[in-house]
Amino acid sequence: MDQIGLATETPKSPWGQAAPAVAPACSLNDVMSEQLARQLEEEEAVPESVNIGDTSSDLMLAQMLQMQFDREFDDQLRREEKKFNGDSKVSISFENFRMVHPYEDSESSEDEVDWQDTRHDPYRADKPQATPRRGFSGKGKNITTKHDEVTCGRKNTARMDNFAPEVHVGDGLGMDLKLSNQVFNSLKQHCYSEQRRSARLHEKKEHSTSEQAVDSRTRLLMYKMVNAGVLEKINGCISTGKESVVFHADGGSLEEQPVPDEVVLKVFKTTLNEFKNRDRYIKDDYRFRDRFSKLNPRKIIRLWAEKEMHNLCRMKKAQIPCPEAVLLKKHILVMSFIGKDHVPAPKLKDVLLSGEDMKNAFYQVLQMMQTLYQECNLVHADLSEYNMLWFEGKVWLIDVSQSVEPTHPHGLEFLFRDCKNVSTFFQKKDVAEAMNPYELFNAVSGLKIPIGVEDEADFVSEIVALEKRNEDHVQRRGKKTFPVESEDGGPPLNPGVDD
């Protein structure tokens, strides 16, 4: 019996503590019994932070089950959040979908609680204390007015949040900074100045034409031409100048007239920089005098495009080799392309010609200047080897937007300048038949101004006297102006020479 009793004793651990007894096996009925459940709950240690009370209440059991379900739901939500964010620098929090707040969950560890997931931001600036309506607070020596240095400094720091987003105010809002009124006003003025500067730069970029790009309004006009079938497609920029950008395009069709297979779009720049000092070409022209206004500079650019179109129509009627005006839309002029297979004709200054071809070119230029002056009643006013093309054995004139009539107050001066440019160019090319500027001027104008030796000043003074007489003559005749532009900002599609 003693041996049996010793054998049935609970074995002891060598460390002096009793080893846990092996729980006997039980049936399913014992597991589902309520008595066994109460016994297990009594034996289980209850955390001090949770006061369960009487578990015989069904409400308490339901709350415990709901708490456990909420914890499992939050664990699953945390895993989904971690899986969704991954290694991204910008993370998304599912804090609003959690069932149990991290601080209320006693089983959650501190490592699982991120301060960004909480409702409180430790770096958020405290709202400054507002002074009462009466303008002061406190009594006696402790009185504080609205002009208090500390109060005003804190208010100024908080008011920096109202600055524009592009103005960086730093991350010192939680450091109890105090800005004086002088510093705050300086920062505020700087913020307003930067906003105005940014707005000006944005407007200049949106409403201007740069070297090889166009603004949004010009692109819209070009797209409308393509959509209307006037152009098949726009291929790209072929030339840039001080006043315009020239694009090559494939022609489409118009109801009023045929469109060439290859055309160019001359887009006058809308930066206005190159037109400020060139108003004398248009403000004294009787055709545009009543419509010229410095108060609306964008209309001046449209007048430049319209003026070139009318001058081209005059030249085409006189059979002078020049581009043919096809369409005018505001500051975009569509003309025929001088060239072949997308290759523009070279300028006269770049082409290599033989002596005989250069002599023929001089006589062609002389004849064109005479026809332009006598039949078209125009002076090119910017004629040089840069504005003459060589194509199919002929000289072609381009860029006539600044051309004026001889009755212009400076028309004869412009003609003499053209003669000097033409004479200098062909004399450098060793053309023996090239006239000097005085002879060329008389040959083109038909005037008989006496020519002396190196008396350019007297020659120019005589030209100025003739211009004065021409101006008085024009004022007596009372020249008519062009008709008022149409609703879309330009003349008809195929205008005639009505001037």
Contact partners, residue 289, CB within 8 Å, separation at least 6: 283, 481
Average pLDDT, the chain: 75
The mean pLDDT of 340-354, rounded to a whole number, is: 91
The mean pLDDT of 333-351, rounded to a whole number, is: 92
Q: Are 163 and 169 in contact (CB under 8 A)?
A: yes
Q: pLDDT tier at 213 (50, 70, 90 boundaries)?
A: low
Q: Which of 21-30, 104-113, 227-236 ranks highest by mean pLDDT?
A: 227-236
Whether residue 416 has pLDDT greater than 80 = yes
Least reliable range by pLDDT among 76-85, 219-228, 466-475: 466-475
Please report the pLDDT score of residue 481 as a whole number: 39
Residue predicted with more confidence, 111 or 313 = 313
Whether residue 37 has pLDDT greater than 60 = yes
Domains, the chain: 143-212 (no CATH), 213-344 (3.30.200.20), 346-477 (1.10.510.10)
Please report the pLDDT score of residue 176 as a whole number: 74
Whether residue 268 has pLDDT greater than 60 = yes
pTM: 0.54
What letters, b where the CB count within 10 A reaches 16 and e where it falls short, cover 327-358? bbbbbbbbbbbbbeeeebbebbeebeeeeeeb
> Which tokens hold the place of 341?
């297979």
Q: Is 382 a catalytic residue?
A: yes
Residue predicted with more confidence, 169 or 224 = 224
Residue 90's identity, in one-letter code, is: V
Tens of pLDDT, residue by residue over 148-162, are 788 888 888 888 877
Least reliable range by pLDDT among 9-18, 244-253, 394-403: 9-18
> Which tokens hold the place of 12?
């002891």
Q: Are 308 and 495 in contact (CB under 8 A)?
A: no
Please report the pLDDT score of residue 1 as a whole number: 44
Please report the pLDDT score of residue 499 as a whole number: 35
Instruction: Catalytic residue, from 382, 399, 418, 499: name it.
Output: 382
Listing DSSP states for 113-171 in one string gives --GGGSS--TTSPPPPPPPPTTSEES-GGG-EETT-HHHHHHHHHHHGGGS-TTS---S
Please report the pLDDT score of residue 483 as a whole number: 37
Q: pLDDT tier at 49 (50, 70, 90 boundaries)?
A: very low
